Each structure stands twice: as structure tokens, then as C-alpha cells.
Amino acid sequence: MQVNHLRLLVFASLLYAGGARAQSSVATDAEALVRKVADHIIQTTSFRFVNSKTGEKFETLKGITSSPDVKAESKFNKWQYVNGVLTVGMVQASAALKDPKYAAYSRKNFDLIFSNLDFFKKQFDAGVKNVEYRPVFRIGSLDDCGAMSAGLLDVYAFDKRKDYMDYLERVGDYILNKQIKLPDGTLSRDHPHNMTLWADDLYMSVPFLARMGKVTGDRRYFDFAIQQVENFNKYLYDSTTGLFFHCYYSDEGLNGVGRWGRCNGWLALAQTMLLDYLPANHPKRAALTRLLLRQIKGFARYQDSSGLWHQVLDRPDSYLESSVTAMFTYTVAHAVNQGWIDKSYITIAQNGWEGLGTKVTAEGELQDVCIGTNIAEDIRFYYTRPRETNDTHGLGAFLLAGTEIVLAKDKLVDLTKKR
């Protein structure tokens, strides 16, 4: 009996050790992939400006004669909403991996931009078209300001510069008081129909609003962010599929045709980030958490056996797409890590990460990322949207997903046992 008991103990310990090795391996591999992708971004960012006509390059524009031909050389130094997501991903990767170089990258990026703004502001004031950093001066849409400002607030935690906060307060005023809205206060756009609600805009507003509420202590930001989450769920959620439509046409009182992957990802990220910054005792926290769990259960139904999700979520004949997979993977892993949902959901994220791992090249570039996408009346538009390698729409989300898998080390399971 003692011998049999000992054999059972040894067998059990081997099983436990095997499971522990599987958990450790997944987390270790995730860290390696995050570093590979993040390091490639750093290595390919020049932090310079270039004159497109003469080819002359500049580290700084102080003392340089004004010219509309001078632009940021690297796509990662542009003022584009996708780079705001990349900033958030870099800063969170820095914290998770305990490596300051990733946060330093984003700090250097915003320093480069703001330290050279005067050069471009003079051109903007003079009416020069297509001037670099035009959205900073214009602030005429949520795309101009919301996502980049969420990233800037993460950098502001390190560098509390007055020019940063001056800009952030302008953005807060724009979103709260100037961006067009439906009669009930829901953020909207004037295209493709007048007063169209875009799913994308929940990310272009809420992550900034939530951070701003935390930094300033002004509850107006939280109240407005919560209102947007509630109303976007009201207008865009499709109870038949458990997914969200890309848009709502208020003039028709109807949704658009596409349950597009990345727009569902934007909604998931935005709701997750609101919960991150919302006070722990906020009376609406439980209801907001329930909305997030409802979305997770919805999109989990459409996960491919590869772990990836499709470009059009409920159309398995559409291609497997990386940015939405990264967004969903992050959302689930983060919700588990924060204790908002049961840890059993982690397998959804693990499967997603497993699929994403197949999309990273040897150089550290992410494949099969859908490019920027408008709204169209026909579903074929979404099917045929081009996919590219290392399109910035997927990079920030990939870093977020990977860091959460690293942080979930003690919650991961041996997926081979579930197959």
C-alpha cells in the first residue's frame, strides 16, 4: 500500500511539474515575442525629420527654415491614432517586463513631437495644406486626438510637462463640448451619413476620458465615458449573434451590415480601460463589468480553432486577422488578471495568443493586419479589405496581449490536456 501511495504521489508531482512547465513556457515565450516585436519597432524608428525633396535629415527643427516638405521620417513618429495605441502597449510592456526602455521609447516620441511643434504651427497658421502634425492644431475629430491623448496621458505619468497638460485639457474640452453628438449625447460623426455612430469611436474617446478622470479627479470625465459605453452598447449590440455592428445610422434608425472584427476589438479595449481607471467603489462598476463579460462571451463563440478571429467575425470564410485577435486576447487576459471574470476564461486568451504567435515573422513583424477601414454599405467591402505585415493597427494591441499573457503566468493551463 505504501509503495502504491508513493507511486501516486510521484505521478501527481510529475503531472503538476508538467503543468507548471507548460505555464512557464507560455509566459516565457510571450515575453520573448513581445520583446522581439517591440525591439523591432524601436530599431526601425528614426526619431528624425526629413525634407522629402532634398533628402536632408534633421534631429531637431530648431533654427531650420520653414518648409512644407519637412515631415517625420518614420511612421511611428507620426501623429496618428494607431500610434496612441502603440504608446499604451509600449508603456504597459515596460511595466510588465520591468524594462524601462519601452516606456523611454514612447517618452522620446512625444518629446520629439512637442519639442518641434512650433515649426509646424507656423505653417498651419499660414494655411499650408497637409502640414505635419496638423491634427494637433486642428482637433476636428476624435481620430485627431482621442487615442493619441490616451497614450500621452500614460507618458504624462513620467513627464509632467505643462505643454502636455495644456494640450490634454484642449482635448477634454473638445470631446465633452464640441464633438458632434446624437440628441442623447452619444458621440457620432457626420459621415458616411449625417450623425453616424461608429464603433471605433468608443476607443477614440473612452480610454482618454477614463485616464483624464483619474489624473484630474474630475468626475465629468467618468460620467461621460460611462454614458458612451452604455449608449454604444444600446445602439450597436446585436443580441442575435452576441457581436456588435460597425455602425448605427441615426437617420435611418438602422445598423450597418458588418460585424467587423477590429471595431468589436475597439469596443472591448475601451470598456476594459474604463474599468481600469474607474474608482473601485463606483456604483456602476458591476453593471459595466457585466457588459464586458457579455461581449467576451459573444466573441468567444466565433474564435477559430487556430485561436484567431476572422476579419468579419461571424463569417468564417473571411480571412483570419491579427489586430482583432490581439484585442480580444488582451481583453480576456486582462479581465482574468484583474479578477473581474473567472480565471477559467483564460483559455480563450491562451488560444488567441497561440494563434498570434504564428503571425510573427523572424524579424519581429506582425502579419495579416487589416489596414485602416471605413464604413461601407456592402459586406464585400470588409471581406476584401487589404491586410498588411506590420501595419500599426495591430502592433500596440499585440504588445498589450503579450504582456497580459506574461502577467497571467500563474493562471495559465496546459492546453494540450484540453484537446
| Per-domain boundaries in the chain | 44-179
Which pLDDT band, with edges at 50, 70 and 90, does 9 fall under?
very low
β-bridge pairing 49-51 and 70-72: antiparallel
Q: What is the pLDDT of residues 377-393, one digit of tens each?
A: 999 999 999 999 999 99
Average the pLDDT over 210-238 and give the result.
Answer: 98
DSSP 328-364: HHHHHHHHHHTTSS-GGGHHHHHHHHHHHHTTB-TTS
Instruction: Give the residue among 379, 246, 264 at the shortest CA–CA distance from 317.
Output: 379
What's the confidence (pLDDT) of residue 25? 81
Residue written as grid cell 504651427: 121
Which pLDDT band, with edges at 50, 70 and 90, does 27 fall under?
confident
Instruction: Give the residue among 71, 54, 185, 58 at the shortest CA–CA distance from 123.
Output: 71
Average the pLDDT over 341-360 and give the result.
Answer: 98
What type of residue is 182? L
CA within 13 Å, CB half, 321:
35
Q: What is the pLDDT of residues 304-328, one digit of tens each?
A: 999 999 999 999 999 999 999 999 9
> From residue 174, how far is each of 144, 166, 323 by CA, in Å?
11, 13, 28
Question: Is-contact 404 97, C-beta < 8 A?
Answer: no
Instruction: Give the residue among 168, 57, 80, 64 at the shortest CA–CA distance from 123.
Output: 64
DSSP 369-381: EE------SSTHH
pTM of the model: 0.94
**CA 327 – CA 204 distance, rounded (Å):** 15
Average the pLDDT over 28-41 and give the result.
Answer: 97
**CA 259 – CA 236 distance, rounded (Å):** 10
What's the confidence (pLDDT) of residue 335? 98
What type of residue is 405? I
> From residue 236, how far is each of 157, 259, 263 by CA, in Å?
34, 10, 11
CB atoms within 10 A of CB 155: 22
**CA 86 – CA 250 distance, rounded (Å):** 32
Alpha-carbon torsion (302, 305, 310, 314), positive or negative:
negative
pLDDT, mean over the chain: 94
What's the confidence (pLDDT) of residue 211? 98
Q: What is the pLDDT of residues 385-415, one digit of tens each?
A: 999 999 999 999 999 999 999 999 999 998 8
Quick check: 10 pLDDT over 50? no
Q: What is the pLDDT of residues 166-196, one digit of tens each?
A: 999 999 999 999 999 999 999 999 999 999 9
Q: Which three cell numbers stand for residue 160?
A: 509632467
**CA 38 – CA 396 distance, rounded (Å):** 9
What's the confidence (pLDDT) of residue 416? 76
**Residue 396 has what DSSP assignment?**
H
Q: Judge residue 127's burial from the number of C-beta atoms within 10 Å of its C-beta, 0-12 exposed, 13-18 middle, 19 or more buried.
A: exposed
CB atoms within 10 A of CB 172: 21
C-alpha radius of gyration, the chain, whole number: 22
Q: Which three cell numbers stand for residue 286?
A: 458591476
**CA 109 – CA 241 distance, rounded (Å):** 41
Q: What is the pLDDT of residues 94-147, one digit of tens each?
A: 999 999 999 999 999 999 999 999 999 999 999 999 999 999 999 999 999 999
Question: Is-contact 164 148, C-beta < 8 A?
Answer: no
